């Protein structure tokens, strides 16, 4: 099967005057775990609603398994959605909730119950069959919603910020479970979140969205290490951003003038081009024994202890508007008010041309 499972082709959407999706195209492979990552208002939830059939796009087409589903209602699509508030039917037992989709397909009660039990077993809630949703904890409800959506064996499972209502610890635990369940059932999952840690932990394929557009997509390792745009460099993890202009180009090397001095990088841009250089916090070196590229000195403005490391914010002495974000070992003695040399290596600089 070479065709993608889901093919979103040039989709745009407007709510009244406001354009929330701008010519978005995206392909989803069978069996993959795709995460749509973006801030609120980036259009990720609208895109999910279009996939689920709850919103008709203003322009563009959606193909699922090669068929045009653009205006097919939710009930007739091979997709199911796990809603942010779980949307469990409060008047039905957990078993009846999970069996609902099968009931709508006309499956007899005995088979329904057996399949619902099986699905509840899959999410580790076999014992909750006869309970009512209000007797369950938030994490348990989340799992029931997952079982309810999976039991009718959709081609694509859509998850709308499924972990948003859970506390941090439970969220990390549910992440691992979601990933395990997805691998076991093999269904393609499309998951919307604004939490970049969640995205990195879950995704096979990470799609960074901003302002109605896809900024970057690919394996999370690649998106993190080599973000395609400044937005994804700052939204998927933090970065220090150096604004600059290309001043010289010679034999595959460019010289970029930045507030922290001139920096030589491999590249083929024309002189005068505006660029941004991004450096991940773990790649900035503080102190004298540094990397090959010196970025001047900086005055430490804040040190936040985060357990396994210290997050250090420092303002450049060359240009106080330039803010360095660095990561120091937990044992480092760096303090607010210290002045320290900042440097990095050329390989760790991400060249952004947007």
- With binding defined as CB under 8 A, does residue 153 bind another protein? yes
Residue 329: how many CB atoms within 10 A of its CB? 10
The β-bridge partners of 341 are 297
- With binding defined as CB under 8 A, does residue 137 bind another protein? no
Question: Which of 141, 236, 224 minimizes the C-alpha distance to 195?
Answer: 236
The binding track of 13-32 with respect to another protein, each residue x by CB under 8 A or -, is -----------------xx-
Residue 299: how many CB atoms within 10 A of its CB? 15
CB of 187 to another protein, least distance (A): 4
Question: Which of 239, 226, 189, 231 minimizes the C-alpha distance to 210?
Answer: 231
By beta-carbon proximity to another protein, the closer residue of 132 and 179 is 132
With beta carbons less than 8 A apart as the criterion, state whether 231 and 223 touch.
Answer: no
Residue 292: how many CB atoms within 10 A of its CB? 12
CA dist 59 and 70 (Å) reads 10
By beta-carbon proximity to another protein, the closer residue of 162 and 237 is 162
- With binding defined as CB under 8 A, does residue 154 bind another protein? yes
| Maximal C-alpha separation, the chain | 75
The binding track of 253-292 with respect to another protein, each residue x by CB under 8 A or -, is ----------------------------------------
CA dist 293 and 257 (Å) reads 13
CB of 35 to another protein, least distance (A): 19
CA dist 230 and 242 (Å) reads 10
CA dist 200 and 298 (Å) reads 31
- With binding defined as CB under 8 A, does residue 70 bind another protein? yes
Sheet holding 350-352, edge to edge: 261-266, 253-258, 240-250, 274-279, 350-352
By beta-carbon proximity to another protein, the closer residue of 65 and 179 is 65
- With binding defined as CB under 8 A, does residue 95 bind another protein? no
- With binding defined as CB under 8 A, does residue 169 bind another protein? no
Choose, by CB under 8 A, the member of 152, 199, 260, 300 that binds another protein: 152
Question: Which of 252, 249, 233 minimizes the C-alpha distance to 241?
Answer: 233
- With binding defined as CB under 8 A, does residue 180 bind another protein? no
Among 61-69, 220-228, 310-318, 344-352, which window interacts with another protein (CB under 8 A)?
61-69
The binding track of 304-343 with respect to another protein, each residue x by CB under 8 A or -, is ----------------------------------------
- With binding defined as CB under 8 A, does residue 230 bind another protein? no
Q: Residues 286, 288, 289, 294: is their CA dihedral positive or negative?
A: positive
CB of 21 to another protein, least distance (A): 17
Residues that bind another protein (CB under 8 A): 1, 5, 30-31, 52-54, 56, 64-65, 67-81, 83-85, 87-91, 100-101, 104-105, 118-119, 122, 132, 134-135, 148-155, 184-188
């Amino acid at each position: 099967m070479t065709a993608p499972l889901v093919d979103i082709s040039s989709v745009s959407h407007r709510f009244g005057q406001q354009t929330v999706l701008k010519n978005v195209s995206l392909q989803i492979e069978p069996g993959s775990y795709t995460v749509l990552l973006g801030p609120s208002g980036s259009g990720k939830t609208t895109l999910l609603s279009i996939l689920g059939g709850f919103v008709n796009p203003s322009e563009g087409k959606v193909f699922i398994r090669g068929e045009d589903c653009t205006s097919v209602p939710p009930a007739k699509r091979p997709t199911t959605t796990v809603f942010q508030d779980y949307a469990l039917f409060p008047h039905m037992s957990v078993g009846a909730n999970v069996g609902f989709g099968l009931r709508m397909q006309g499956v007899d009660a005995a088979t329904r119950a057996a399949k619902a039990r099986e699905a509840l077993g899959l999410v580790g809630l076999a014992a909750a069959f006869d309970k009512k949703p209000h007797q369950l904890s938030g994490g348990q409800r989340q799992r029931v919603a997952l079982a309810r959506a999976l039991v009718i064996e959709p081609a694509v499972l859509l998850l709308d910020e499924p972990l948003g209502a859970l506390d941090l610890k439970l969220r990390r635990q549910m992440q691992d479970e979601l990933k395990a369940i997805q691998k076991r059932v093999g269904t393609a999952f499309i998951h919307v979140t604004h939490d970049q840690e969640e995205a990195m932990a879950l995704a096979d394929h990470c799609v960074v969205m901003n302002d109605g557009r896809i900024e970057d997509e690919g394996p999370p390792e690649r998106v993190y290490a080599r973000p395609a745009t400044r937005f994804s460099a700052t939204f998927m993890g933090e970065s220090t951003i150096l604004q600059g202009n290309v001043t010289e180009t010679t034999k595959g090397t460019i010289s970029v003038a930045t507030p922290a001095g001139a920096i030589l990088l491999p590249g083929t841009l024309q002189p005068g081009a505006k660029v941004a250089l991004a450096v991940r916090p773990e790649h900035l070196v503080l102190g004298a024994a540094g990397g090959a590229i010196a970025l001047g000195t900086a005055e430490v403005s804040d040190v936040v202890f985060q357990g396994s490391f210290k997050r250090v914010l420092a303002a450049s002495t060359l240009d106080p508007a330039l803010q360095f974000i660095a990561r120091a070992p937990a044992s480092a003695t760096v303090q607010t008010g210290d002045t320290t040399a900042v440097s990095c290596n050329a390989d760790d600089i991400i060249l952004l041309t947007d």
